[in-house]
Structure 1
Amino acid sequence: MKIVIAPNAFKNSLPAAAVAAALEEGIRRSGYTGTLVCCPVGDGGDGTGSLLTQYLDAELLFADVADPLGRSVRASFGWVSKTKTAILEMADASGLRLLRPEEYDPLHASTLGCGQLIKAALDQGATELLLCIGGSATVDGGAGALSALGLQLYDRDGTLLSPLPVDLIRLHNIDRSRLDQRLHGITITILCDVKNHLLGEKGAAAVFGPQKGAGVREVLLLETALQQWRRIVLQTTGTDMDRLESSGAAGGMAAGLAAFCKVKIVDGIRYFLQKIGFEQELENTDWVITGEGAIDLQTLEGKAPFGVAAMAKQKGIPVIGIAGKLPDRVSPGLQAYFSWLLSINEQPLALEEAIRQTKSNLVRTGEKIGTALKNKA
């Protein structure tokens, strides 16, 4: 029997590789002696860039950039010299994990550091950028990143503005004459796991603002800032950022870059699986195990477990889905892709306690799965 273990990260708890290792440990504890292949995956969320860097055997390069609040931080990117490809993790420069919870402040948080990381990749000679945009602390529509690359923003009086959302509200004019010319010679592929548009009740401010520290008043101000950003960008470039699918991802980062650069926004998990040759890994596989912190109806909208399960289903391979949280009633949609859905928590736990016990619960769940599959063999 061959089992492929292909989980995503368990958010705020364990990265994908550690989840796979814990499941492997548990399955081996059950006495299973067949083939086990660990293949941790990412869908564009926090940690995807690190995985791609490992799978593509990329060199790790470093740059000093600004964190979301403007403080200096050391960030890295993967470098494949043969293809001149840079693999960037937005969260390394502009991520929520760089801030303490009491510092969350999306009105004053910027993607400037991510733009500086892009510039470092250009300085290295990159002709292709793979940008994973999950886990950001920002809702600035990518204005900060573009300002690091030479875009200049002005108010009605001709005063230079910072690219912060609190100032975008007063945006009147954009000067793109100093935008880094090297951007015209590269392709930026953005790996994304959401389809939200930039504006509205399902937009960047309303959906992602609260996750990054915005209260009701701040959400309204962020929405106003993004509306003005969209209006002036449309006047400047002819591109309506709000019409782009996934334009709200990472607080509008995808939208901003798409308006001024040559960008491909891709389904993160589908692109990731193709890039690492996952389909070939499924040859002669009997079972696939995947999962992440929560599996629910949103999973079917392009999250990592769905991408893995869909590819396995095409080959007639049954899939076990594991998660810290499952819906009380499993929908027919989930049943169509997962042969067995399993919570790693045997009893209800407070979130903090569940996170603390994630590894031990994964090991125990792996042992349970190993025992069940041995009996099926």
Structure 2
Amino acid sequence: MKVLIATDSFKGSMTAFEACHAIHEGIKNKAIETRLCPLSDGGDGVIDVLVFSNNVEEIVVDTIGPLGQPIKAGYVIDWPSATAIVEVAEAAGIVLLKYEELNPMITTTYGVGALILDAIDKGCRKIIICVGGTGTNDGGMGLLSALGVKFLDKRKKELPGCGASLTKLRTIDVESLNPKLVGVEFVIASDVQTPVCGPRGAAIVYSPQKGATPSMVKTLDKGLANYANILSKMYNIEAKELVGGGCGGGLGLGLQVILKAEHKQGFDVVDSYVGLEEKIKWADLVITGEGKIDEQTLDGKVPYRVAKLAKKYNKRVIGLCGKNELNKKIEEFDEIYSISEISKEVGQAALQHGYRHLKRLASRLSF
């Protein structure tokens, strides 16, 4: 039997590659042939997934992290198409912050700009920006500042690119945009459809997990609304209505409006390099998964997209996860099993021992 293992990361516990490897270790003694295909929906971990596909070259540069600390961050280049794929989390990710450092009022996406400029200097004419896993809520002000855009307060004083500046913003000067960007195509890769502000917006939905207190959430949402209003007047659009404007802490809004970036599904962008469909055709059985399978999974997250494609070719599909919160049968999955069914560990202990538990869960599968 030929088995394709194609999972997303198990957030807070395992990368996509680690999860795939744990499953492989669990089933390798069953006299079967396996192929590993770690996946991403365009969020954190996408660089590792693309490097594993062997179709790109990783470039590492010096830049700054979300608190301005010096770091090294990577991106990848697909040389035949002169395309760079930049993962925002590499320079602005929540994983770069300690718990006590989480504060979306002061964190910034500025460091991502250095990756983009380096790619352009190397000849890239298309930049795919994978948005996810950020520890920021600056609306992309940091990144855009690094590219030359000036954000000014009521006294025409330049503002730092961080969440706290959003409510102070009065004017945006795009005339100072770096001329290197002329003729460069930008794409946002994200499966998040969140608007920039309001009840379903970036601040209210996502900033609490980035360290925002209730009062910070209100300030950040007000700031993003202010940001959107200014952009709406500048470009004669309804910026608040842009699909995906809230992805990456509002990064999607700034990129779509100022850099004219096209918003694409993150999974589709990754799959264009991974070639999942051909791998599924090869397999008899497909195993997929992520940390939690729930109703959001059915909105197009990695396991559901894998399962749906596998069913196109009538493949058996098994979903593995840390926790299964679906209370109904999903036709795309033949079976779903969770670590919570075999382990009583919860919280941080469960996350720390995720690899071991997933390996044991996989070893219990019947083929």
TMscore range, shorter length: over 0.9
Contact 1:270–1:307 (CA under 8 A) maintained in structure 2: no
Are residues 1:349 and 2:345 paired?
yes
Unaligned runs of 5+ in 2: none
1:141, CA displacement in angstroms?
0.8
Are residues 1:136 and 2:134 paired?
yes
| TM-score normalised by structure 1 residue count | 0.93
Three-state SS of the structure 2 residue aligned to 1:247 is coil
Change (3 A) 1:239 1:62: farther
Contact 1:184–1:262 (CA under 8 A) maintained in structure 2: no
Contact 1:67–1:98 (CA under 8 A) maintained in structure 2: yes
Deviates more, 1:208-217 or 1:165-174: 165-174
Code of the residue aligned with 2:89 in structure 1: it is A
1:66, CA displacement in angstroms?
1.6
CA shift digits 1:98-133 (9 cap, x unpaired): 110000010111111112221121122211112211
Contact 1:239–1:259 (CA under 8 A) maintained in structure 2: no
Contact 2:194–2:202 (CA under 8 A) maintained in structure 1: yes
Three-state SS of the structure 1 residue aligned to 2:81 is coil
Partner residue in 2 for 1:358: 354
Contact 1:6–1:39 (CA under 8 A) maintained in structure 2: yes
Matches within 5 A, 1:30-69: 32-69=30-67
Partner residue in 2 for 1:111: 109
Correspondence for 2:180 among 179, 182, 195: 182
1:189, CA displacement in angstroms?
2.1
Correspondence for 1:96 among 91, 94, 110: 94
| TM-score normalised by structure 2 residue count | 0.96
Partner residue in 2 for 1:18: 18
CA distance in 1 between partners of 2:362 and 2:12 (Å) = 20
Deviates more, 1:285-294 or 1:266-275: 266-275
Contact 2:42–2:269 (CA under 8 A) maintained in structure 1: no
Contact 2:2–2:282 (CA under 8 A) maintained in structure 1: yes
Deviates more, 1:265-274 or 1:297-306: 265-274
Contact 2:55–2:273 (CA under 8 A) maintained in structure 1: no
Contact 1:142–1:256 (CA under 8 A) maintained in structure 2: yes
Partner residue in 1 for 2:206: 208
Contact 2:225–2:240 (CA under 8 A) maintained in structure 1: no
Matches within 5 A, 1:121-132: 121-132=119-130
CA distance in 2 between partners of 1:149 and 1:323 (Å) = 40
Partner residue in 2 for 1:254: 252
Unaligned runs of 5+ in 1: none
CA shift digits 1:278-328 (9 cap, x unpaired): 11111242211000100000001121111111111111112111100111x
1:330, CA displacement in angstroms?
2.3
CA distance in 2 between partners of 1:177 and 1:314 (Å) = 49
Three-state SS of the structure 2 residue aligned to 1:82 is helix
Contact 1:288–1:312 (CA under 8 A) maintained in structure 2: yes
Code of the residue aligned with 2:291 in structure 1: it is G
Partner residue in 1 for 2:331: 336
CA distance in 1 between partners of 2:282 and 2:64 (Å) = 47
Partner residue in 1 for 2:77: 79
CA distance in 2 between partners of 1:331 and 1:275 (Å) = 33
Aligned-residue identity in percent: 34
Partner residue in 1 for 2:306: 308
Partner residue in 2 for 1:266: 264
Deviates more, 1:35-44 or 1:264-273: 264-273
Contact 1:289–1:322 (CA under 8 A) maintained in structure 2: yes
Deviates more, 1:98-107 or 1:176-185: 176-185
CA shift digits 1:197-223 (9 cap, x unpaired): 111111100011001000100000101
Code of the residue aligned with 2:327 in structure 1: it is V
Contact 1:65–1:116 (CA under 8 A) maintained in structure 2: yes
Partner residue in 2 for 1:368: 364
Contact 1:21–1:38 (CA under 8 A) maintained in structure 2: yes
CA shift digits 1:22-65 (9 cap, x unpaired): 11111013xx2222111111111210122113314322222211
Partner residue in 2 for 1:276: 274
How many residues get paired?
366
CA distance in 1 between partners of 2:78 and 2:282 (Å) = 31
CA distance in 2 between partners of 1:182 and 1:142 (Å) = 19
RMSD of equivalent CA atoms: 1.4
